[in-house]
Structure 1
Amino acid sequence: MASLSFFSFLILFLSAIAVSDGGSVGINYGRVADNLPPPDKVVQLLKSQGVAKVKIFDSDSAVLTALANSGISVVVCLPNEQLASVAKDQSFSDGWVQANIAKYYPATKIEAIAIGNEVIAENITDTTKFVVPAMKTIQASLVKLKLDSNIKVSSPVAISCLGNSYPASAGSFKTDQVQSTIIPMLDFLRETGSYLMVNVYPFFAYKDNSKTISLDYSLFKDNPGVVDSGNGLRYKSLFEAQVDAVYAAMSALTYDDLKLVVTETGWPSAGDAAEVGASQENAAAYNGNLVRRVLTGNGTPLRPNDPLNVYIFALFNENQKPGPTSERNYGLFYPNEQRVYNIPLSQKGLNGNQSPPASNVNQTAPVNNWGGVSKATSGQTWCMASPNAEAEELQEGLDYACGEGGADCGPIQPNGACYNPNSLVAHASYAYNSYYQKKARVSGSCFFSGTAYVSTQPPCTYFFYPFILFTFKLIHSCSFSCLGFAAFGNCQFPTGY
């Protein structure tokens, strides 16, 4: 097979502008500030950015009222200080659900109740013992009102509740919490069909270990990846490794069937001198690449078929939050609704069709390098092989597509119209796309164990002729006007359209 280096460069370009159906991106709407816009203005801002999910840290009446009939789903929170009262008194729980949930539902699309926030964390506290009992009383209240089938109950845990998180395959919960809290909580989630909420912040790991953890690895940028010594999986981002450490911890306790949602993740745009990595550039890269990663389809290496669902922290910079400077600088927007930096927050935004916020001044440029966020057009789609995939995995995918998958692989045989470029990635791309089009481009038909991605831009003929001068100017000006097919070398990629 020919060298992958040149073709890999080309596919990297295409992958930077490819999007597909994937997980969901929501935003945490915190309000520890004295200068934020009123809730109705916030709802307008969320809708203008295509944000369909939001999480709040209480059950504020003004916020829930503003969200009514907006189409935005919301996760509300039972504050930590109320856990004991709810856990000890079913009637108190009934009253809380009636006043804070039933009063607004269904006009306000409440989809889940978070019982506290990071009560389950590194250390056991006096409040920890109330988490699961509070979950049970709230669930019982929902059952009484016949709301339990539509509203889930869970509790956001801090990733510090893991006793071990490296390598990801060795993830495990802290032993002193397993029997008293973790197993009862996981049992409840399984019994009620709910999911684990977990807060994941690669920033903290990088800040404390910047000499050993790659910044590119932390920001979802192009990097060699880290191979898990326990299962051989290659991780291209710290975020995915941390998420899989939680999955591994659940698996170790035989809760492989449970799903999880990342209820908080983010990166600060400013910090104190000791907060290594806190900057606008890094925040834009992390959150922008996170959005693109989540919305392009695949799950984590350990759970590739489970889409990633995340809530970015946070919507605004909150000027009254205590602690280091970073705590007041996680926001995507300033209180005047201007962007702190420019990133897409939805599929529409990735496609370049998102409305601008109320004001665009004082914005930094969006990240548009190989490891960053790029625009893409909508319309026809193609399934392409990833140049970052292991050759053995690509070969397995190619063999499946051409064999059991029923793809038309005649053109990539010797002397076939699509034999050149003669590389594993090129041949796999043709086979993957043939299979994808044959399956009518249904969700999940462009996966191949995580070695494929959906591109909204066709492979351009100009990329595959060695006498062309491949400058960035040429690449950015290359026309993608392939009608009915995508030209790929001397062959034509069917689109099925």
Structure 2
Amino acid sequence: MLTNFRFIFLAFFIFASRVQAVGVNWGTSASHPLPPLKVVRLLKSNNINKVKLFDADSDVLQALSGSNIGVTVGIPNTMLRSFNASKKASDSWVHDNVTRYFSNGGTGVRIEYVLFIPLWFDIGFGFTFAFPFLALLLSTVSALKKCGSNTEEFRAEIGFWIRDGEKPCLVFIFLVGLMNQLTGIGTGYVAVGDEPFLQSYGEQFHPFVIGAVTNIQAALMKAKLDSKVKVVVPCSFDSFQSDSNLPSKAHFRPDVNKTMIELLTFLDKHGSPFFVSISPFLTLLQNRNTSLDFTLFKETAHIRNDSHKAYKNSFDLSYDTVVTALSTAGFPNMNIVVSKIGWPTDGAINATTYLAETFMKGLMNHLHGNLAAPLKLRHPPSETYLFSLLDEDQRSTASGNFERHWGMFTFDGQAKYHVDLGQGSSKSLVNAQDVEYLSPKWCVVNNNKDLSNATASALDACSNADCTALSSGGSCFNISWPSNISYAFNSYYQQHDQKAESCDFGGLGLITTVDPSMDHCRFSIEIRTSHSERLRVYYHQWIMALLIATLLAGFCRLT
């Protein structure tokens, strides 16, 4: 009964979240990522209850367990070929990254990850720390058997079923069921691929999309999760074309049309929404006919007319382009989710904190009740995922140096601007707390040395670090020589954990404790990365495991 209640609650949660829900994209392409548990606390502090991931990182998924945050788990494009070719690979992926975080239904209560206990792990410095948990595991299984349970699964994470037919164990089952509900993860979607139809990719992923979604869907059905977890494919906005650059003539690109029809048929059959990216910033960057005011929801923007419809902003025009293309393809009622939308704050002209704040405020006002015609005449997006939560200093810059600066928060979880996300949060974003940094020291150029080769050294440093802020229009573009050399040196130094040799540069580098930051150009100090966060998680899990085993043994002795 408790298990069934959990699934009723989850189904209600997924349904209710489809009313103008706002979530965020959480990418982890960073040299020193903010620890997942701190990111989850950051999400909860800002009342963000939906998150879209680009992969299935076990530490991230573990941190999200018990958070009641709805999750879209991503499958990278590089895995599509494998899932297209192998049902076994799809089954394994779903088991490892989805099934673990759900009960399978029926009358049983499944415990998994609640009792995740590594028998050993490396704590650094070349030492391996072992724990004598074998006796605990054996006593737990023995107690389960005494309670009349049928142990169907016993792996490193101790996933097993507890049948609720034995009255002596009802109290224990209640406790476990409560823990299972508290430690579950609210997965709503599996995103197969990350914009595999992006035009710059060519057709390298096209042949594998339909086979991959079919096999992932079959794996979810096999795990009896298909009614709770929907399969989607995030699509890039350049999947559409319009001869007039206006919505009324929109359609899918000819090279993706056949595959897209197959995908839409699949989505429609299984009740999955259409995930699509909309980027007014990229539209502004690529289209000279689009004004900045038009992208920022400004009242002064020049209205664009199309077939008796007046568009006051870039978002409405782009969204209606998607709606028209879907209608043209024969799917006028397809549910739409905006899977990525945002504004970068550095690395390019118009990529500034001020413009990002202006855009985000305009978007939030627009989504939360201020929808203008003609969009309000059609169904608005059921969910919108802001791009992105955090800056990522190792994200690909193929599209531009701004790609590493989409975050509403800096890499260390500090808010860049003020915005009301409309979910009961304050109008000011809440910063991450208790962030641990490396020592307060920087690497700068030694002005007492011959700097004739300094530029070459800086270019070499930037090829292995992040110097995107030095780009034209970037926050550090206007700093003078040799300060820009120092910026490059420091970026390399920080990304390499402040190792003394990483500030050598042929004798041109100098380590200092004086912050060289200036004006709007920040010389960052990286986050300290260690095993301490994971150790704390494991510690609490061991205590919980010991408590459960003790309670179980005690209850069963009463019989």
TM-score bracket relative to the smaller structure = 0.5 to 0.7
Q: Which amino acid aligns with 2:314?
A: L
Equivalents in 2 of 1:94, 1:303: separation in Å? 41
- AA aligned to 2:419 is I
Residue matched to 2:189:
112
Q: Partner of 2:350 in structure 1?
A: 277
Which residue of 321, 326, 329 corresponds with 2:405?
A: 329
Q: Which residue of 2 aligns with 1:317?
A: 391
- Structure 2 Cα separation of the partners of residues 101 and 316 of structure 1: 24
Answer with 302-311 or 38-47: which moved more: 302-311
Would the aligned equivalents of 2:275 and 2:339 in 1 still touch at CA under 8 Å?
yes
Q: Which amino acid aligns with 2:222?
A: K
- Structure 2 counterpart of 1:197, from 275, 278, 285: 275
Alignment of 1:333-482 (within 5 A): 333-349=409-425, 352=427, 356-358=430-432
Cα separation, 2, equivalents of 1:268 and 1:303: 27
Secondary structure of 2:98's aligned partner: helix
Q: Name the counterpart of 1:265.
A: 341
The answer to whether the aligner puts 1:174 opposite 2:247 as a matched pair is: no
Structure 1, gaps ≥5 residues long: 1-20, 361-497
Provide the C-alpha distance between the structure 1 equivalents of 2:228 and 2:338, rounded to a whole number of angstroms.
20
Measured after TM superposition, the shift of residue 296 of structure 1 is 2.3
The answer to whether the Cα contact below 8 Å between 1:24 and 1:294 also exists between their aligned partners in 2 is no
State the Cα distance separating 1:336 from its structure 2 match: 2.3
Per-residue CA shift, 1:379-400, capped at 9, x if unaligned? Answer: xxxxxxxxxxxxxxxxxxxxxx
Deviation for aligned residue 1:202: 0.9
With over 3 angstroms needed to count, the CA separation of the structure-2 counterparts of 1:140 and 1:208, relative to structure 1, is same
| CA-CA distance at 1:307 after TM superposition | 3.4
Cα distance in 1 for residues equivalent to 2:284 and 2:230: 33
Q: CA deviation at 1:333?
A: 0.7
Gaps of 5+ in 2: 1-17, 104-183, 435-559
Q: Return the offset for 1:270.
A: 1.2
Query: Quick one: which amino acid aligns to residue 186 of structure 2?
Result: K
Provide the C-alpha distance between the structure 1 equivalents of 2:193 and 2:255, rounded to a whole number of angstroms.
20
Shift in alpha-carbon separation, 1:314–1:214, aligned structure 2, 3 A: same
Question: Within the alignment, does 1:93 sit opposite 2:90 as a pair?
Answer: yes
Aligned-partner Cα distance in 1 for 2:371–2:296: 18
1:261-283 alpha-carbon deviations (Å, 9 max, x no partner): 011111111123xxx32111111
Query: Aligned match of 2:284 in 202, 206, 216?
Result: 206
Supply the AA of the counterpart residue of 2:197. I
Counterparts of 1:181-260 in structure 2, within 5 Å, are: 181-210=259-288, 212-224=289-301, 226-230=303-307, 232-260=308-336
Give me the whole-angstrom Cα distance separating, in 1, the residues matched to 2:379 and 2:373.
Answer: 8
Contact 2:342/2:406 (8 A) holds in 1:
yes
* 2:306 counterpart SS class: coil
Larger Rg: 2
- What is the identity percentage for the equivalent residue pairs of Structure 1 and Structure 2? 33
- Alpha-carbon offset, residue 295 of structure 1: 2.2
> Given residue 266 of structure 1, which amino acid in structure 2 is its aligned partner?
G
Instruction: Count residues with an aligned counterpart.
Output: 332
Number of the residue aligned with 2:74? 77
Q: Offset at 1:302?
A: 4.4
Per-residue deviation, 1:355: 7.1
**Partner secondary structure for residue 59 of structure 1:** coil
CA drift at 1:177: 1.8
Instruction: Give me the whole-angstrom Cα distance separating, in 2, the residues matched to 1:258 and 1:160.
Output: 19
Partners of 1:75 and 1:113 within 8 A in 2? yes
Post-superposition offset of 1:358: 3.9
Cα deviation, residue 227, structure 1: 3.8
Alignment CA distance shift 1:176-1:320 (3 Å): closer
Q: CA RMSD in A?
A: 2.1
TM-score for the superposition, normalised by structure 1: 0.64
What is the TM-score when the length of structure 2 is the normalising length? 0.57
Contact 1:300 1:306 in 2 (8 A): no
Does the aligned pair in 2 maintain the 1:25–1:294 contact within 8 Å?
Answer: no
Return 50-59 or 319-328, whichever deviates more: 319-328
Tell me, in whole angstroms, the C-alpha distance in 2 between the residues paired with 1:199 and 1:226.
23
CA pair 300-38 structure 1, distance change in 2 beyond 3 A = farther
Distance 1:115 1:204, change over 3 A: same
User: CA offset at residue 226 of structure 1?
Assistant: 2.7
* 1:34 has 2:113 as partner: no
8 Å Cα contact 1:26/1:54 also seen in 2? yes
Mapped partners of 1:243, 1:104: distance in 2 = 34
Q: Is the 8 A contact 2:54 2:74 kept in 1?
A: yes
SS at 1:349 equivalent: coil
Secondary structure, aligned partner of 1:277 = coil
Q: 1:199 to 1:148 in 2, by over 3 A?
A: same
Give runs of aligned pairs for residues 282-297 of structure 1, distance below 5 A: 282-296=355-369
Contact 1:315 1:332 in 2 (8 A): yes
Shift of 1:346: 3.2
Contact 2:311–2:317 (CA under 8 A) maintained in structure 1: yes
- What CA distance in whole angstroms lies between the structure 1 residues aligned with 2:281 and 2:237? 12
Q: What residue identity is the alignment partner of 1:235?
A: Y
How far 1:223 sits from its partner (Å)? 3.1
Separation in 2, partners of 1:197, 1:345: 21
Tell me whether 1:57 sits opposite 2:54 in the alignment: yes
What do the CA deviations read for 1:225-266 (whole angstroms, capped 9, x no partner)? Answer: 534322x12222101211110110110111102111011111
Bigger helix share: 2
- Corresponding residue number in structure 2 for 1:148: 226
* Residue type at the aligned position of 2:260: I
Partner of residue 401, structure 1: none
Q: Residues 269 and 67 of structure 1: is their aligned pair in 2 closer, same or farther, counting only changes over 3 Å?
A: same
Does the aligned pair in 2 maintain the 1:83–1:131 contact within 8 Å?
yes
Say if 1:83 and 1:134, in contact at 8 Å, map to a contact too.
yes
Contact 1:50 1:346 survives alignment (8 Å): no
Matched letter for residue 145 of structure 1: A
Task: Give the C-alpha shift of residue 220 in structure 1.
Answer: 1.5
Structure 2 counterpart SS, 1:321 = coil
Is this contact kept in 1: 2:197–2:206, CA < 8 A? yes
CA contact (8 A) 1:299 1:306 kept: no
Secondary structure of the residue aligned to 1:228 is: strand
